[in-house]
């Protein structure tokens, strides 16, 4: 394929990334438009680009179906208020010991984010943290910073801890045990170090400050906050029986993920279990399972966006762009697996810090596959570097993580004066740099020991 066509398709990919920076734009609209342009350009010279089968086969349908089931399960758990009740129990159980409450909140939210989407965890925990700190007249900023920084570590632990991990594990055929064995030591060590440093440098200093309400001068904002507090208290009155049943179902779902290798099958079974144990009252005033209700609540934009990325990167594979990128990377590191791993770790983490990590993941998966199958590099160090880079880079800048942006948005909504974009960037970026250093050390241990 000609260089001009390769550049044109590459420009389409770059435009998609740029569109992500502008929240007011519907990125899905532009993604579909750019896919049509890239496909039309490719079809001029490539026979494969003229057939619908090429585009259908480019999509990882197992990942798509599993994402749908996971998003549906998250909606069911949110409506059942399961994790809201857990969060409420934590803060009321440990509110008399601020330091212990800090550690428990960070640990539980981190472990929750290894199962649920980190954005959902942030939405659940942040209002409860802020309103509890308001009642105790303490600064909620260290709790919010601790939770936000730690939940980005959570995705390194399991293959379903993030959509990116899910795509990587399915693309390379990685199991749950692979993640636990290869990433467990890093997750445990980095989490302990992070919590200790957060305690010393953030909690110990920030907790001395009293609650600062940025809405004090605006009565309307105060009334909104009070209404939110009343609404939250009302929402948290959840039947303990429902909580227990859903927690048992969650354990069963995790077992299914461990035992059934086809993740979409495990997802479908788990989704149906949650639907049947959370029936809804219909028009006839009878409780019935209603999957369509939860399907309507799922935000499918991200799933459609992944489909667009799968297709666009596949076109870049067909026209040889991916092979060129692989050659550049291979020639830059002189066949040294340690230097190559560090390069992948740094590049993917930086890209993930400045942009959404979905396109970074999808474009680097075939590059790593070529490095392993064609250049003969060992898979494990490259996968470790890849997963760490994709997930840890989100702390460099708030826009690199949906959970970070949600923390800022809800902090503004709940009048947390101390937590600003600048502060989250400085603290989050510092810990992201630390995590990358820990990642380099961990790679050295994996490769040389």
**What is the structure's pLDDT at 261?**
79
Residue 224 above 70 pLDDT? no
**What is the structure's pLDDT at 113?**
85
**What is the structure's pLDDT at 1?**
63
The rounded distance, in Å, linking the Cα atoms of 142 and 202 is: 6
The rounded distance, in Å, linking the Cα atoms of 412 and 228 is: 13
Max mean pLDDT range (16-20, 210-214, 437-441): 437-441
- 289 SS3 class: coil
* pTM: predicted TM-score of the whole model, two decimal places: 0.81
Record the tokens describing residue 370, joined without a space.
């070529």
Task: Give residue 145's pLDDT band: very low, low, confident or very high (50, 70, 90).
Answer: very high
pLDDT digits (tens, 9 = 90+) for 377-427: 999 999 999 999 998 887 787 767 777 877 888 888 788 878 888 888 899
The rounded distance, in Å, linking the Cα atoms of 265 and 437 is: 38
**What is the structure's pLDDT at 215?**
62
Buried b (16+ CB within 10 A) or exposed e, 294-312: beeebeeebbebbbbbbbb
pLDDT digits (tens, 9 = 90+) for 278-331: 998 877 778 899 999 999 988 888 788 888 888 998 999 899 888 888 788 777
Contacts of 41 (CB under 8 A, 6+ apart): 5, 8, 9
pLDDT digits (tens, 9 = 90+) for 81-134: 887 787 778 777 887 888 998 999 899 889 888 877 677 788 778 887 887 787
Residue 154 above 80 pLDDT? yes
Residue 181 above 60 pLDDT? yes
**What is the structure's pLDDT at 210?**
67
Percent of the chain whose predicted confidence (pLDDT) is above 90: 32
Mean confidence (pLDDT) of the chain:
84
Residue 348 above 60 pLDDT? yes
**What is the structure's pLDDT at 220?**
43
pLDDT digits (tens, 9 = 90+) for 15-65: 887 876 665 667 788 889 999 999 999 999 999 999 999 999 999 898 889
**DSSP string spanning 75-102?**
HHHHHHTHHHHHHHHHHHHHTTSHHHHH
Question: Whose CA is closest to 387, among 167, 148, 80?
Answer: 167
Record the tokens describing residue 19, joined without a space.
């569109």
- 281 SS3 class: strand
């Amino acid at each position: 394929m000609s260089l001009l066509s390769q550049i044109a398709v590459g420009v389409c990919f770059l435009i998609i990334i740029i569109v992500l920076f502008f929240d007011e734009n519907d990125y899905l609209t532009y993604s579909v438009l750019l896919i049509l342009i890239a496909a039309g350009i490719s079809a001029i010279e490539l026979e494969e680009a003229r057939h619908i089968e090429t585009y259908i086969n480019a999509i990882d349908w197992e990942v798509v179906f599993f994402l749908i089931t996971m998003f549906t399960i998250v909606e069911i758990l949110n409506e059942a208020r399961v994790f809201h009740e857990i969060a409420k129990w934590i803060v009321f159980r440990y509110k008399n010991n601020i330091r212990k409450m800090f550690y428990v909140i960070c640990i539980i939210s981190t472990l929750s984010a290894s199962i649920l989407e980190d954005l959902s965890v942030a939405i659940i925990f942040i209002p409860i943290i802020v309103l509890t700190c308001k009642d105790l007249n303490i600064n909620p900023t260290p709790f919010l910073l601790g939770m936000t920084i730690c939940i980005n570590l959570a995705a390194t632990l399991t293959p379903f801890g993030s959509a990116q991990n899910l795509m990587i594990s399915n693309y390379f055929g990685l199991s749950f045990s692979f993640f636990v064995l290869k990433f467990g030591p890093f997750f445990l060590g980095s989490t302990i170090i992070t919590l200790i440093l957060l305690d010393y440098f953030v909690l110990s200093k920030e907790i001395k400050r009293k609650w600062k309400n940025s809405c004090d001068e605006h009565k309307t904002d105060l009334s909104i906050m009070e209404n939110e507090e009343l609404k939250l208290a009302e929402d948290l009155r959840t039947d303990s029986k429902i909580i227990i049943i859903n927690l048992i179902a969650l354990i069963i779902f995790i077992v299914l993920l461990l035992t059934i290798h086809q993740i979409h099958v495990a997802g479908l079974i788990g989704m149906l279990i949650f639907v049947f144990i959370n029936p809804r009252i219909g028009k006839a005033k009878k409780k019935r399972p209603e999957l369509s209700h939860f399907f309507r609540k799922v935000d499918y934009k991200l799933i459609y966006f992944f489909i667009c990325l799968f297709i666009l990167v596949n076109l870049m594979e067909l026209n040889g762009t991916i092979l060129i990128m692989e050659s550049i990377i291979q020639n830059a590191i002189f066949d040294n697996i340690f230097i190559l791993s560090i390069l992948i770790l740094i590049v993917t983490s930086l890209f993930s810090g400045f942009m959404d990590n979905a396109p970074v993941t999808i474009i680097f998966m075939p590059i790593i596959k070529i490095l392993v199958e064609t250049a003969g590099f060992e898979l494990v160090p490259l996968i470790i570097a890849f997963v760490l880079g994709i997930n840890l880079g989100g702390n460099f800048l708030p826009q690199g993580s949906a959970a970070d942006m949600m923390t800022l948005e809800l902090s503004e909504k709940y009048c947390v004066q101390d937590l600003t974009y600048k502060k989250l960037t400085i603290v989050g970026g510092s810990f992201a740099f630390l995590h990358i250093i820990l990642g380099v050390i961990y790679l050295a241990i994996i490769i040389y020991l």
